[in-house]
Amino acid sequence: MSFKIPKVSHDLLWRHLFSQALPVTVGEVLLPSLVGFCSSISVPGPHFITRSYCLLTYTATDASQKLEEKVANPMDFLRHLKDPVGRTRSAVRAADYLETTLKLLKIKLHLSGKLRFNVTDLLDRKQKEVISKETGCDYQIRSIKCPKNDTYRTITGVCNNRKHSHLGSSNRAFARWLPAVYEDGVSVPRGASEGKLYNGFPLPLVRRVSNEIAHTANENITQDQELSLVFMHWGQWVNHDIDLAPSSGAGVSPELHCETDCAFKSPCFPIKFPPDDPRKPSSHSCMPFIQSASVCNPRTFTREQINAVSSFIDASTVYGSEDFMAKSIRNQTNQLGLMAVNQNFTDAGLEFLPFENETRSVCALTNERMNIPCFKAGDKRVTENLGLSALHTVFLREHNRLVTELRKLNPHWDGEKLYQESRKIVVAVNQIITYRDYLQLLLGEETSKWIPLYSGYNENVDPTVSNVFSLAFRFGHTSVQPFVSRLDDSFQPLGSFSHVPLHLTFCATWRIIMEGGIDPLIRGMVADHAKLMKQNQLLIEELQNHLFEQTERMGLDLAALNMQRGRDHGLPGYNAWRRFCGLSEPQNLDEFSEVLGNSKLAKKFMELYGTPDNIDLWIGAIAEPFVPQGRVGPLLACIVGTQFRNLRDGDRFWWENPGVFTLQQLHALRNISLSAVICDNTHIKKIPSDVFKISNYPENFIDCHKTDTLNLSPWKDDDEPESSTKGTKLSEVCQ
């Protein structure tokens, strides 16, 4: 017998739901101490929304307090890297107000003895509009009128598509290629309710899956005989350019203790330890996990995660994805178009990234005696690992080098023109290296299948990074080495600095400032092999047990985090994505053994999940055998290839799109290489011609002066000085 939701008039329902006093509640946690405070406030708008503002504002906490007390733990490092800032924080707060309002409505219905159903089913269009307006969501999703003419892409990515101005822009929801799967159809992740069956089987604990399938001892890895560590680091560099799912937490109640409480109370979604876990602490039985921040979705109210950065390959790692950030990392002491650099230290005369402005930095806790803060760049994750920081530094220097050279060619250009033209070149360089060099090695023989030859910009292609891609592209974790290598000018180990365990380098900016700069790191990246992903060697112990293990005994588990993140994001299981990609859908052990080419591994999966339908996407996808000449399996090749085709074809400012560059400029750009960029911006003297591939030193290295530095003569502008004002300034776009 089905229950039909009664149709209630707008006025009657509104009066019933919004006119009575309520206890202030979030999730299942009652906060009686706040009832008096929240009952006394006087803010216009429906009571439920007023209560949401009260609760979230009153209970907001500042993580910096923990830093002042020097008690940061691994979760604090992760939170620092993924905290929402600027307009992202505003967008996240609006979504939090919306979600909390709906929770309070649901509680009211339960208190009134109503049957269980989605509260949104009771709201008509007008009621939803009121909620959207009062929570601030209507402001976050407003449409923007784009300028008729623009020379440069915006920092946020807005107006890249004139037809749909928001496509690919920052602070928007990830795209859904398949509908979200939540326990309640709205927001509760799969696996949050113990004992719930999926396709007839319970979901396994992600930590158990990690222990039994992903774990690899640091000493038991196989070296990739073809690809260098630069290949691994470039994958992360590109990933940080196109997606960032910040952590939730704005408005988390002080009575919610995500780091110690093992019950699901959104946004706390703890990772429980199996009873026999060798690293299970005696004090508690779970590993902390905080859900990704959501974004306003007033159309369906289904939980959607926010992408804080622009989807486009636009070097947002260098320049930022918000206007305020872009401005803050530019050199404010002159109007020459330069990026800001470190004012305290140099790298043998070359620039370091500037430090962040925090009075107490989480990076300083990795070595309190050195007291070196985190770096500041276009992306907050800049200091996550040393190789990533090195790439950030190289492209900061490349921007400033281009500005200097272009100013010599065109002394009549103002600082804004110099900034924009240099940025445009840096973006093109990133696009070329990614598609010409990196993706060819990643997708192998399937590259042309998923990314055919470029045929021009298509305004009907949605470039927005998909939710599934944001998880699938974490495959790169399987190619990380357990140690960070640093080499001297002769590519020999750099004394005691040469072989540092990976977990001792997270957020350790002091190791760059005080231990030789970025050159030794880049030499190590160039000369060292990437780890080869094998089915019995998926994730090194440094990442599986010691992630961000700097200040506490127990680190985090990246494999478990990835699988829990997939459930948090409402991603369907393995077979749903095989079906999406037109691949076979294994239904039993024999069929799955054939897909994996490994009956022993298939049996492990079946024992854990019961059916391939339930397998978490990340672990299932990375377990597949590689496509020919590639480094991912068929499912990842489909997801990654589809996304990168959309990123290219849906980008109006793509470097090959007619009119973006002149023919002479295109010819010059086609000769660039990552090797040349590194040589132009470091003191390194010898380098492989292709830094993604392993080369023997010194026989397969070339002198840096033999690399093809970008020929900038096609950028010489012989027009009259007033022509430099033709370009549209960022400050004039989409205001």
Phi and psi torsions of 299, nearest 5°: -75, -45
DSSP secondary structure letters along 369-391: TT----B--SSGGGGSSHHHHHH
How far apart (Å, rounded) are the C-alpha atoms in residues 390 and 395? 9
Characterize 633-650 residue by residue with b for buried, 16 or more Cβ atoms within 10 angstroms of its Cβ, and e for exposed: bbbbbbbbbbbbbbbbbb
How far apart (Å, rounded) are the C-alpha atoms in residues 209 and 215? 9
166 noted as active-site residue: no
Residue 477 known to bind ligand: yes
Q: In the chain, count of helices (H) and strands (E)?
A: 28, 19
How far apart (Å, rounded) are the C-alpha atoms in residues 299 and 484? 47
How far apart (Å, rounded) are the C-alpha atoms in residues 548 and 384? 9
Nearest to 191 by CA among 566, 585, 545: 566
Tokens of 12: 């009657």
Phi and psi torsions of 679, nearest 5°: -60, -40
SS3 715: helix
How far apart (Å, rounded) are the C-alpha atoms in residues 467 and 307? 9
How far apart (Å, rounded) are the C-alpha atoms in residues 309 and 242? 6
Token look-up 């923007």 returns 144
- Helices 125-135 & 47-58, crossing angle to 10 degrees? 30
Q: Is the peptide bond before 267 cis (omega within 30 degrees of 0)?
A: yes
Angle at 134 between CA 129 and CA 135, to 5 degrees: 100
The HSE-up count of residue 315 (CA atoms within 13 Å, CB side) is 28
Nearest to 522 by CA among 614, 646, 388, 652: 388
Phi and psi torsions of 286, nearest 5°: -150, 165
Q: How far is CA 209 from CA 213, 275, 605, in A?
A: 6, 13, 8
Q: Which of these is catalytic: 80, 215, 240, 503?
A: 240
Q: How far is CA 467 from CA 12, 23, 243, 307, 462, in A?
A: 39, 35, 9, 9, 13
How far apart (Å, rounded) are the C-alpha atoms in residues 142 and 469? 26
Tokens of 43: 């803010």
Structural contact between residues 513 and 345, judged by C-beta atoms closer than 8 angstroms: yes
Q: Is the peptide bond before 298 cis (omega within 30 degrees of 0)?
A: no
- Helices 589-596 & 599-609, crossing angle to 10 degrees? 130
Structural contact between residues 544 and 212, judged by C-beta atoms closer than 8 angstroms: no
Nearest to 342 by CA among 392, 408, 402: 392
DSSP secondary structure letters along 483-537: EEE-B-TTS-B-GGGSEEEGGGSTT-THHHHTTT-SHHHHHHHHHSEEEPPBTTB
Residues in the annotated binding site for heme b: 477
Catalytic positions, please? 240
